[in-house]
Structure 1
């Protein structure tokens, strides 16, 4: 487990948590299954201990995650800014889950930075920003939810506090961020944790159904359109690209979460080592990049598109027009050709 020196010791943190605290849990913008699973899992644990807890997300999140226990307690910052700002200001502890730089929570970031609360980072991404007072950080973890489990079960030594609701949320986070346990990060230890969560009440089959078999008709037709009309395969680079315009998103009534996972279909093509989903949003062009093996998707996103992430799953953004971003992406491939065709 990789950890840096903490300003707040584990003993001091345990002492703080031994008495009721005003706690805020937050996670990155456009939260995914791991962001919400880790946040609501930790929420479910902390409320059992008598703490006053609120989960604040910077933005909305996919409807296929709304089934999770205590989802009704989530405050969306863009919809309730005054209440969220007050809660951050009044908090004694702020848990920052599944992100490690305050720019990842948009306008909420500066409020968190200015807050007097102790800030606890639980995360698995590279290059953390130095804003936290305690850090439970491991880039080898498959999900933030795995680290929340480790935090509760091993650091706080309270596996008994993981009830069915907590287990269900943490299982969701691990399942989604490990690609349903198919990514290399899904180690034997991850499987053991998943088994423990099932023993603690997580209904794995039902969670999978709620997350993956819950698409709207528009979402499914949008996927079909992307695969039939917007998929470009560059065999000379073992790369596949899907591009989507704002107009196409509107045509299929695209909602938050509807583009999630689309890039993986491009990566699933035989022989493809790198895939990108490039989407024209209202303010920027966003990229989701996936790779196989040891090809560094995160390097491309960091170097060329103001982003980052994991080796095989990363993201970025650009202020350029969509067509220019696509051309920039194609142009950089020649520098990686040897790696892509190896």
Structure 2
């Protein structure tokens, strides 16, 4: 047990008021790791509150414990969130490494007097936390949470440590952040963790179905529109991109999270190395980048669009108009051409 985990174990030996939070627009790893960690802490006798900075996708509402998750941007819950953070003795920050990923909640967490803890696998973290469980080699934050729980409970069998509800949450995080176990971040440790989680009685096919095969008809119609009308391929740059305006989102009544995963379709086009999705929403442009092989979209996102993430999966934001943002992206491609063309 390393020193950080020893200190954490000593702190957790007595009951505390603990807040768990995650990045804005949380995905299955952010929510799954938070719920899995929160359930562990609750079983240890702590008073746990889980707060999401923003709303989340409808296909994640089935995760055990979601009914208790507070949403900071929800006006009726914001005061409760602030009170819980003000009373907290520990704030656990999961699946993000910079406070700006919390949107408006970031300043509240930064100013809070509680001890901060980070559990994350993204690059270039801010050093705002006293305790950092941080490993960029981990496929998912849920994988780190599972490893941490085991380290905090040496000698305890996994089947006695993780119940089925926890396993569902952690498995959802690992499955989605590995692209259903097809991304290069899948290691033997990932499969070993999943094997342990399955001892809790997981129905893995059900979890996959609830996340990926549980969309309203309008979402499939929206996806059909995007792929048939909005997908642009630039063969000379081995790049595909899609642009969605606020008007288009409103036309299909697209809610938070319904654009999740659409960017990946660009990589299914023959010879495409990078895919980008630009979404105009609430006065800003959210950008998702995906790539294959050696091309780093993290460098592109961090260098030009105030973003970051992983080498092959990153995001960014722009306060320019949607048109100016896309034009900026297109103007950058010539300087990236050699790197794009060199990918095997």
TM range (shorter): over 0.9
Deviations for 1:85-124, whole angstroms, at most 9, x for unmatched residues?
Answer: 0101111111100011111112211221222211110001
- 1:64 equivalenced with 2:66 (yes/no): no
- Residue pairs, 1:1-342, within 5 angstroms: 9-79=4-74, 80-157=77-154, 158=156, 159=158, 160-342=160-342
TM-score normalised to the size of structure 1?
Answer: 0.96
Give how far 1:161 is off: 2.2
Is the 1:14–1:156 Cα contact (8 Å) retained in structure 2? Answer: no
Q: Is the 8 A contact 2:92 2:117 kept in 1?
A: yes
Query: 2:51 touches 2:72 (CA, 8 Å); kept in 1?
Result: yes
Segments of structure 1 that go 5 or more residues without pairing to the other structure are 1-5
Does the CA-based 8 Å contact 2:4-2:132 persist in structure 1?
A: no
Normalised TM-score (structure 2): 0.95
SS of the residue 2:278 aligns to:
strand
Supply the distance in 1 between the matched residues of 2:184 and 2:4 (Cα, whole angstroms): 32
SS in 2 for 1:9: helix
CA distance in 1, matches of 2:53, 2:323: 29
SS of match in other structure, 1:259: coil
How much has 1:197 moved relative to structure 2? 0.8
**2:257 match: secondary structure:** coil
Separation (CA, whole Å) in 2 of partners of 1:177 and 1:201: 21
Contact 1:27 1:35 in 2 (8 A): yes
Q: 3-state SS of the aligned residue for 1:257?
A: coil
Name the SS for the 1:197 alignment partner. helix
In 1: Cα distance, 2:313 partner to 2:123 partner? 12
Partner Cα separation in structure 2 for residue 70 and residue 58 of structure 1: 17
Corresponding pairs, count: 336
Offset, 1:129: 0.8
Deviation of 1:9 after TM superposition, in Å, equals 3.3
Contact (CA 8 Å) 1:62, 1:257: kept in 2 or not?
yes
Give 1:3's aligned residue: none
Partners of 1:9 and 1:125 lie apart in 2 by 19
Shift of 1:155: 4.2
Tell me the secondary structure at the aligned position of residue 94 of structure 1: strand
Q: Which runs of 5+ in 2 are unaligned?
A: none
Distance in 1 (CA, whole Å) between partners of 2:49 and 2:17 is 8
Instruction: Give the superposed CA RMSD.
Output: 1.2
Please say if residues 48 and 161 of structure 1, whose CA atoms lie closer than 8 Å, have aligned partners that are also in contact. Answer: no
